[in-house]
Amino acid sequence: MKKLYILASLAVAAFAFTSCEADKEPVYYAPDPATFVLNTPPMANQLYVLENGGTVNLTTSQPDYGVAVITNYSVDVTLDEEFKEATEEEAANYLTLTPNEPTQAKINLDANALDEAICKLKGLNGFADYPEAGLAPVKVTMRAHAWISGVASSECVSNNIVLNEVQLYNPFPQVPGYVYLVGSCTDWAEPNADAADTYAKWSIIETGVGTKIYEGSLDIPEGEQYFRFYSKLDGWDKSSIGSSTNPDHNQPINFTATETNLNAVLGKGSWVTDGETWGGGDVTFKIDLTDPKNPVVTAKLGKFAKESYVYLVGDFGKGWTEPSEANASHFEDWRLVCKDDSGIYTNTLDIAAADCYFRIYPKLTGWGNTPYASDNGGQNETVTLGSPMKCATGEGCWNINWTGGKLTFTLDTKAEPATLTITAAE
């Protein structure tokens, strides 16, 4: 009996010990970085084509923190063999991407975001920078980061992996290009990406995407001013448009109210105003680069005036159409026009009988908020013909149960807030 009692006591003690171990709370500890592994994809040695809308899939081992906790992930990308952190002298050699689901160890990277990051690492920052002939596949090195929000000791970095062939495409939205005036008024700052802020106010925008015609006005200071143009901010020697192929040639110029051809060539010769007679002022320039080897530059005194548009977007008995550049031809019939700098856009449209819902967009850049929506807390607002209606930022619509006929729309964007007035036209 005594032996049985002792064995029973030991069993109880063992059970109690086990129960205490099971009842212990999990304890956080910093992870061993060596255990955080970014797995090499099975297709790492094959061609990755970064088509728009796709994903690049990676997997990692989840860091062991000792507790069940939400872990954040990101991915660094470089074109070098190893990653280099930023110093006082130079920037880091990598860019960081956030996965589509940033708290999942199964990492899905948006292919377009990866493509854009790689292009930026190659010094390509816009649609016009991307070579028309395309780029050869590149080798990309990646690593992953993991961390718990608010816990510094939780941060760890994985091993590196390599994707040997990644085929890029142009990831940037196609937007109008610019030509830049370079000269005395810009202190002859080198026309490169580092001087982009300087040249923003000395730029002339393309009249439309891909037209290769640039038109606008610049305020040229008084006195003797030397200048020429550059079609890209890529240094002194590649994209210059001047008066001569001889960089030491300076062609005198006298701006008048009549449009004058400046006889431009691909070169670094400059034009120069008369220091005694030029009093400064706005000059409208037109640069035609449709023939890339034979630029045409004209100039005349005065501020550039151009028609600008806003767009009626809605259901006018025809269904909704997305306000995008792809649908630009559709919106040629659904736009209000400003022919000066007044900020007042107007047009008269013949609209069939319909229950119309609409708002106004300043640009064809897709769905979303517009500064010219109805001012009704995001809800629809019934139109009162002849009365100015306040605009607000949002996606609220105006509604008019129209019996058919012509309506005149007038949007005053200079009013505070902007107003829309709709009247029935005879």
Cis peptide before 131 (omega within 30 of 0): no
Structure tokens at 126: 């816009």
163: Cβ contacts below 8 Å, ≥ 6 apart: 41, 44, 48, 139, 140, 142
**Residue of 265, 358, 372, 260 lying closest to 314 (CA atoms):** 358
Pairing of strands 226-230, 213-220: unpaired
pLDDT reported for residue 53 = 65
SS3 of the chain: helix, strand, coil, percent, to 5: 15, 40, 50
Range 33-167: architecture per CATH? Sandwich (2.60)
| Domain with residues 308-424, CATH architecture | Sandwich (2.60)
Are the beta carbons of 119 and 147 closer than 8 angstroms?
Answer: no
Cβ 229 vs Cβ 243: under 8 Å: no
Instruction: List, in sequence order, the alpha helices (H) in 60-158.
Output: 111-121
H/E element, 77: strand 72-78
User: Which residue, chain included where needed, has tokens 């290009």?
Assistant: 177
Q: Burial-class residue 374 by CB neighbours within 10 Å (0-12, 13-18, 19+).
A: buried
CA distance 378 to 376: 5
Amino acid letter, 314: G
CA distance 183 to 264: 16
Looking at residue 18, its pLDDT comes to 47
CA–CA distance, 204 with 217 (Å, rounded to integer): 7
Query: What do you get for the CA distance between the two ends of the chain, in Å?
Result: 115
Domain ranges of the chain: 33-167, 178-301, 308-424
Amino acid 52: pLDDT: 64
Q: Per residue of the chain (426 residues), what is the pLDDT tens digit?
A: 444 344 444 344 444 444 445 556 788 999 988 889 999 998 889 898 887 668 899 999 989 898 989 999 999 999 999 999 999 889 999 999 999 899 999 999 989 889 999 999 999 988 878 888 889 999 999 999 999 999 999 999 999 999 999 999 888 877 778 999 999 999 999 999 899 888 988 999 888 777 889 999 999 999 999 999 999 998 999 899 999 999 999 999 999 999 999 999 999 999 999 999 999 999 999 999 999 899 999 999 998 877 789 999 999 877 899 999 999 989 988 999 887 667 899 988 888 888 899 999 999 999 999 999 998 877 889 988 888 999 999 999 999 988 889 899 999 998 889 999 998 876
Fold classification of 178-301 is Immunoglobulin-like (2.60.40)
CA neighbor of 147 nearest in space, from 134, 137, 158, 138: 158
Cα–Cα distance for residue pair 59/36, rounded to 1 Å: 11
Q: Would 178-301 and 308-424 be classified into the same CATH topology? A: yes
d(CA 241, CA 212): 14
